[in-house]
Amino acid sequence: MTTLSTEQTKSLVDEFINFVINDWTPEQMQSYVYDSLKQEILCTRNHLPLEESLKLQIDEYDENLYEILEDYVTDTVGSYTALQEFIHDRHANDWIDN
């Protein structure tokens, strides 16, 4: 085995990661991203209770989303419709950016 320089080792890691990712199915990619995000969300608590940390993270993503999701997971009347409208509004102008 050859001794690689630090830069060569970094390049080898990058090439291996690219190789693995190119072999993944869309389902495997989605599963990996889901698991990674979930782990990141659960671990980024900054010594706060989980619910408080989660609210901060969701608010950072979108300041209106926490209330929408909270209503949805607590089965508030009309919450499914509100969530669908929120999703629609977030993506209504996607075609403009493309």
* φ/ψ of residue 32, rounded to 5: -65, -45
Angstrom distance (rounded) from CA 68 to CA 47: 25
**Is the pLDDT assigned to residue 98 strictly greater than 70?**
no
Q: Which amino acid, one-letter code, is at 11?
A: S
Helix H or strand E segment including 26: helix 26-43
Query: Tens digits of per-residue pLDDT, 15-58?
Result: 999 999 999 999 999 999 999 999 999 898 888 999 999 999 99
Residues 53 and 87 occupy one common structural domain: yes
| Residue ranges making up the domain that contains 85 | 49-91
Angle at 35 between CA 33 and CA 38, to 5 degrees: 105
Structural domain count of the chain: 2
Q: Give yes or no: residues 56 and 80 share one domain.
A: yes
- Indicate whether 2 belongs to any domain: no
Q: Is the pLDDT of residue 95 over 80?
A: no
Residue 81 falls within a domain, yes or no? yes
Q: Residues 72, 80: contact at Cβ < 8 Å?
A: yes
Q: Are residues 36 and 67 in the same domain?
A: no
Residue 96 pLDDT class (50, 70, 90 cuts): confident
Overall average pLDDT of the 1-27 stretch? 95
Alpha carbons within 13 angstroms on the beta-carbon side of residue 15 total 6
| Within a domain: 3 | no
CA 55/CA 41 separation, integer angstroms: 11
User: Does 30 fall in a domain?
Assistant: yes
According to the model, what pLDDT value does residue 45 have?
Answer: 83
